[in-house]
Structure 1
Amino acid sequence: MTSRRPLLAALLIALTAMAIWPSGAWSAEPKPKPYRIYMALWRGWEEAAQGFKDYFTNQNIPVELIIRDAGQDKSKLKDFVAEAKRLEVDLVFTWGTTVSEEMLGRLDTVAADKHITEIPAVFAIVSQPLGSMVKDFASSGRNITGTTYLVPTETQANLIQSYRPFKRLGVVFNPLERNAQVAIGEFSEVGAKAGFEVISRSVDLVDGKPNPASIPAKVAELKKAKVDFLYIPPDTFLNVNRDILTGAALEQGIPTFAAGENPVLTSKAMFGGVYRYYTVGQLTAYKAEQILVHKIKPAEIPIDAPKRLSIIINMPVVRQLGLYPPMKLLGLAEVIDPTEGKGK
């Protein structure tokens, strides 16, 4: 009997240890190394960036986000390129046309010493990537891929017509913003076929920069030209000064349609047809996952937009203008109505 005591004592110690330390603690595998993503932003953290981040959280994909904001200062972007290369990150995310073109390079100017070429990259919130950054939406032909966020011009025109038929479409634009000028050109082409005219007014430049104070006068000129709608194109300057622009239009009694969500959601544009920034960010993260996790080359990943179009109607502005949407359109829309304390 005494010979069994050492064995019993050893068994008791082993059982006690198992009770104190779960079995998984002895066989736990090390946590996977997070993917390092360099996020280059243009005007701070917003919905597309949040959607990008949330995707990885929801998919349980470990990432380390290295976030840099240019604060609309173009001169900082060359330093971002150098830093991303020095850190040898796994992927670069660029937000907006300016950041993407400056860091990833345009097709006709891309250079390995000035741009991100060896590190795979994804871009988001780029207005006109085709022809400027990529050869084709099916394949960039480069070490990059990304998403588009603008609803096709013809679809935008049809949405405006479905709300209220129009013959004259007014546009205030920044002459230094190529995206806005491209949008005006595309609307003019659609208008030539659909039977409406595009009337545009450029904001004034002071010391080589667009002057926000000139916006109300330009809107007043469009009112005198008897425009039926004011179109707000993709333009950082107009987005920053959206309260001035939409307020002036409202004062003149001109309904507004926005290509982006901010003038409707956080200002006084009447309605818009958009791909929501948050959804664009998530789709961009999905493409990043294909690159990082599934090892698919960026050039093999198509560039596209979210599948779902959002129609957003700003009901307080609708009431102030007295221009209520048709019931069919209203039934498809997301209604923003702070006075009701909810969005529908």
Structure 2
Amino acid sequence: MVVRSIARGLFTLAIFAVLSVAHAADRKQILGIFYEGCENLCEGFKAGIKESGFATDITIIDLEQDKSRIPAAVAKAREMPADLVLTFGTSGTLGVIGTLDDVGNPAYLTEIPVVFTIVADPFGTRIAKSFEGSGRANVAGTFNRVPEAINIEIVRQYDPNFNKLGLLYNSNERNSAIKAAELKKIAPTLGVELVALEIDPGNDGVPDVARIAERMAELREQGVRWLYVGSSSFLNTNGELFTKTAVENGIAVVSPYEPLVREHHAMLSIAARLEDVGRLAALQALKILRDGAIPGDLPILQATDFAYVVNMEVAKKLGRYPPFAFLQVAEAVNN
């Protein structure tokens, strides 16, 4: 009887081990590759996956704005192997999947499903073909931006005397350079003079933060009172210094990054909440991993809800209080 009990116990343990291995094999592996860290969007993505009840393990790699780390991240995705890769930011996404011209290039992921997020212009960068589909079998994505013409018109509604817009851009970030070119093209059609300054000309690496104060002083001298953050991981990461220096120079910052208003000294934000964008990315991932959709067959999922946020403390310092009608639709915050 003792022998039978031991045998039965060993058999039960063996079955448990097999089931455990099978259960682990059923869990999908997601690798997040982020150019500048993962906070609200990451939490939204994780929440969306968790609430679905779909079994996954999520691993995060933070590139810390260092493009030299991208090949190792790509190798990690293949080594795991990842069932899906989530990318954050234009530079990181380009490093992981390249452009439409790089399909089949072994330096990029073409065999693993990828969902991109926070890409300022996926079509101008040739990351994707159109909103109808990415144009490549393994790539799906999200889009979170408000059109630049609308951002300019919103500033005009806030300040009827607005006619000059400042812009700092980093040519080492593809998204930042593309947004600068786009604004240079549309600003004159909207009756706005654009003063666009490169943050650190001639520097092929991460710009010197000391250049921020220098460029801000140049903008002030040229009569700029409103500054738009087109798209820049560098400025977003150095948000405290960037926005504080702007206020010191009498310049109001309009940002597509809501945390620059809530946590720093930007005055106005018109943006999709990052947590909501993360949930959109989770929907794309679930369609691929759970429902069996081919990434390239999915439309680029667009954010439809945008929040207007005004930093009232900054508005007070600059003496630019929002009009009453604006406050009817905007959220006022103090920090």
What TM-score results when the alignment is normalised by the length of structure 1? 0.85
1:167–1:228 CA contact under 8 A, matched in 2: no
Please state whether the residue corresponding to 1:45 is helix, strand or coil: coil
Query: Does the 8 Å contact 1:205/1:211 carry over to 2?
Result: no
Task: Please say if 1:191 is aligned against 2:187.
Answer: yes
CA distances 1:288-312 after superposition (whole Å, capped 9, x unpaired): 1111111111111111321101111
CA distance in structure 1 between the partners assigned to 2:148 and 2:196 by the alignment? 16
| CA deviations over 1:65-109 (Å, ceiling 9, x no partner) | 122222222122112212211222211111111211111111123
Matched positions, count: 311
- Where 2:132 maps in the other structure, the secondary structure is coil
Please tell me whether the aligned partners of residues 184 and 198 of structure 1 are also in contact (alpha carbons under 8 angstroms). Answer: no
Q: Does 1:155 align with 2:186?
A: no
User: 3-state SS of the aligned residue for 2:176?
Assistant: helix
| Partner in structure 2 of residue 228 of structure 1 | 225
Is 2:90–2:174's contact at 8 Å kept on the other side of the alignment? no
Structure-to-structure mapping, 1:45-194, within 5 angstroms: 45-131=38-124, 132-142=126-136, 143-165=138-160, 166-194=162-190
Structure 2 residue 36 is the aligned partner of structure 1 residue 39: no
Q: Distance in 1 between matches of 2:202 and 2:149?
A: 34
> C-alpha root-mean-square deviation of aligned residues, in Å?
2.0
Q: How far apart are the structure 2 equivalents of 1:199 and 1:331?
A: 31
Aligned-pair CA distance for 1:265: 1.9
Alpha-carbon distance, 1:175 to partner: 2.8
Question: How far, CA to CA, are the matches of 1:265 and 1:276 in structure 2?
Answer: 12
CA contact (8 A) 1:124 1:284 kept: yes
- Please list every run of 5 or more consecutive structure 2 residues that lacks an aligned counterpart in the other structure: 1-18
**Distance (whole Å) between structure 1 residues aligned to residue 239 and residue 305 of structure 2:** 25
Q: Distance in 2 between matches of 1:175 and 1:89?
A: 32
Percent identity at matched positions?
33
Q: Is the 8 A contact 1:148 1:304 kept in 2?
A: yes
Residue matched to 1:13: none
CA contact (8 A) 1:139 1:300 kept: yes
- Give the Å deviation of 1:31: 5.8
Amino acid at match of 2:234: F
Shift of 1:236: 1.0
- 1:205 positional shift: 4.7
Give the gaps of 5 or more residues in structure 1.
Answer: 1-27, 339-344
Paired position in structure 2 for 1:293: 290
Shift of residue 206, structure 1, vs aligned partner? 7.5
Please say if 1:248 is aligned against 2:245: yes
Aligned CA distance change for structure 1 residues 182 and 208 (closer, same or farther; 3 Å): closer
Post-superposition offset of 1:136? 1.3
Return closer, same or farther for 1:257/1:299 CA change in 2, 3 Å cut-off.
Answer: same
In the aligned structure 1, how far is the partner of 2:112 from the partner of 2:102? 17
TM-score normalised by the chain length of structure 2: 0.87
